[in-house]
Chains A and B, each alone.
Chain A
Amino acid sequence: MNAPPVDPPLLEILDLVKVYHLPRQNLFASASQLRAVDGVSFRVTAGRSFGIVGESGSGKSTLARAAIALEAPTSGEARLLGRAMNLAPRAELRRMRAHMQMIFQDPYGSLDPRQRIERIIAEPLACLDGISRGQSASRVAEALAAVGLGVGDGRKYPHEFSGGQRQRIAIARALITRPKLVVADEPVSALDVSIQAQVLNLMTDLQRQFGVTYLLISHDLAVVEHICDEIAVMYRGRFVETGPSEQLLGSPAHPYTRALIDAAPKLQTARRRAPAPALEGPRTGCAYASRCALVQAKCREEAPELRALADARQAACHFPL
C-alpha cells in the first residue's frame, strides 16, 4: 500500500548560505567575506506562521530576501511549494512570485513617491497572466477595503498618508495576488505603539480572511510571538534555537534566547542588571561564546549544531538550559 502523497511545505530553505564580498581595504589585502547567512534550514508549513527573531547583524533580513528570491543564495536552496526558486527560469519565477509577497519595514521608503496608490497596489498583478484592466481595478478596490482604506484613496499619492496608513497600503499591495506566503520584514518597527497594534490586528485578521501564512522577521519578541506559531532565533547567520512559540518563549533552551527575553524592557519599575557588554570573539567555537553567561571551555572550541530537544524544539548549544 503506497503512502498518500505528502504535500510539499509552503516554503523550504535548505542549507542556505549567503556570502558578501566586502570591498578591499587596500590594493594588497584580499577582499574579506561576510557570511551573512551561514547555513540555515527550515520549513514553513501552510497555516503555521513562522517568525525569525534576531538583532542587527544576525542576517535575518538577508535570509528574508533569499527566501523570497530577491537575492540569489551563494549555496543552498530556497523552495516554494517544492520548486527551487534559484533554478527556475525567469518566466516561471515571475509566476511563482504571485504566491509570495513581501512587506517592508520602512513605510516611507517602500512606496514609490511618484506613483498613485492604486498603481502601487496593482503592481504585483504583473506576476499574473491575463488580468484585464477591469479585473485589476476591482482587485485594487478589494485590497483597499480589506486594509480599511477607501476607494478614493487610490488616486492619492503616498505623501498624503501617515506611516500607519502607508503600511496598510504596503499590506494591500502584498495581498493583491492572494499569495500563500507573505514575508514581513519588521512590518511594525517604524510605527508608533498605538499604530503597531492596529497593523498587527490587521495582519491577524487578514491571516484568517485570506488564509495567508506569514514569515515574520523582527527583533521584537512580543510582535513575533503575537503572530507566529513557530519561532527561530538567529544569531550571526545561524539559527540557535527553533521551536513552537509558547515553549520557546516560556522555557528557552539557548542562552541567547534567554538573554533576548530578559533584555526586552518590561513594564515594571525595578531595574534588572544587564549582562556584561559584548566583546568581539574569535569565530572558532560557538559564535555566542564571548557573550554567554554560561560559557564553558567546550563552547570556545567546538561550534554546536542545532540538535533536537523535546517537543519539536531544536537548539544549538552544548549545554542547553
Chain B
Amino acid sequence: MLLEVANLNIDLPTADGARRIVREASFTLDRGQTLGIVGESGSGKTMTALALMGLLPDGATTSGAIVFEGRDLTRLSEARMQELRGDRIAMIFQEPMTALNPLHSIGRQIAEPLILHRGLSKAAARTQAVKLLERVGLADPARRARAYPHELSGGQRQRAMIAMALSCEPRLVIADEPTTALDVTVQAQILDLIADLGEQSNMALILVSHDLAVIAQNCARVLVMYSGMTMESGRTQDVLARPAHPYTKALLEARPRVSAPRGERLHAIAGAAPSADAMPKGCPFAGRCPLTIEACRLAPPAPVTLRGDHTARCIRIDAAERLA
C-alpha cells in the first residue's frame, strides 16, 4: 500500500486554543489509484492535502498516522520531508500565478527539482525541462522554457506547474483544485492531461476539489468532507449513484443543471457550515440536515459500512434512503 492515512486529526492554533479542523480522516491509496476529496470551503480538504506534504501552517499539530511507502510522515524531520517533496510526493496548486515564482523563467523552475533530487547538472536539467514541457502539451517548448510565468496564459501556466510536479516522476501527486482558476474549456484539457500522465507512469493521484463533477470524471474513489469530518467515502460510482449521507445527497441536488427547467427553485441547503470556533459536539451537519434528531447533536456519528468499502458517517442513513 503506497499511502495509508489512519485517524488523522489536524489542529490549528488560535487565540482561544487549538481548533480541530480535520477529524479522524482515514483512507488508503495504492500505486496507480485515484482518490478524490470533495468538500466546500472549511471542509478541511486542503489541510488534509497539505498535511500529506508536511506543509501545514506553523503551529499546526497532527495526531494519527500518515504512512507513505512504509514511513510515517508525521514523524519525519523537516530535512527528510524535503527529500520526499518534489521527488516522491508532488503537489499541483490551484493558482498557478502565485505558485510559480514570477522572477524565474519556467524552464528554471521545472529544472529545480531535477537538480535538487536527481543531481542533474543545470544544462541537463534544462534539456529535461524542455522535454517535460512538450510532454504536457505546450507548443514550442524550447521558447516556453525561457518565458516567465506572466507571459503565459492560465492554462499554459498550469501545464508548466504539472511539468514541474511530474519532473521527478513522483509516486504520489496531490492536485489541489488544479482547474478551479481556469476556464471551463481549458479545465477539461488539464484534467485529461493529469489523468493521462498518471496512467502512463502508474502514479497515484489525489484530486482535491469542490466540484463533484470534476471528481466524478477523474477519480475512482471519493471522500466527501464537511467541516473536517469525512461524511462519506467509497467508489465514486457507488457514492454518486446511491449517495447514503444526507449531505452528499444535498450537494448533488444543489447543483444547477443545464437541463433543468428554468425558474424552478434549486434544492438549496439552508443555513451555513458551522464556523470553526463554534464546532459543535455532535455531527457538524446537524441543524442544516433535514433529518436531524437530538442524538445527532450529542456525539459525532461513527462510520457505518454499507457495501464493500462504501461507508458513511450518519446515524440516520435509513431515513436518508427514503429521501427523494
Contacts and interface: CB of A to CB of B under 8 A. Distances in A.
- A/B touching: CB–CB < 8 A: yes
B262 A245 contact: yes
Contacts of B216: 265-269
Interface of A: 55-56, 162-165, 192-198, 200-201, 204, 219-223, 225-229, 245-246, 249, 259-275, 277-279
Contacts of B240: 267, 269
A194 B185 contact: no
B254 A196 contact: yes
A197 B187 contact: no
Contacts of A163: 41
Contact of B266 (A226, A246, A268): A226
B101 interface: no
A275 B190 CA distance: 11
A278 B190 CA distance: 12
Nearest to A188: B256
Given A267-B212, A267-B216, A197 B269 contact: yes
22 contacts: A55-B183, A56-B154, A165-B272, A196-B256, A197-B267, A198-B269, A201-B266, A219-B183, A220-B256, A226-B266, A245-B262, A265-B184, A266-B213, A267-B212, A267-B252, A269-B217, A271-B192, A272-B188, A273-B192, A275-B189, A277-B139, A279-B139
A194 B251 contact: yes
A198 B192 contact: no
A262 B260 CA distance: 16
A273 B257 CA distance: 21
A165 B211 CA distance: 21
Nearest to A207: B263
A56 B267 contact: no
Contact of A274 (B41, B189, B213): B189
A249 B267 CA distance: 22
A246 B185 CA distance: 21
B256 A222 contact: yes
A249 B258 contact: yes
Given A193-B255, A265-B211, A265-B214, A219 B268 contact: no
Contacts of A165: 272
A222 B268 contact: no
B210 interface: yes
A194 B184 contact: no
Contact of B188 (A228, A267, A274): A274
B217 A193 contact: no
Interface string B23-65: 0000000000000000011000000000000000000000000
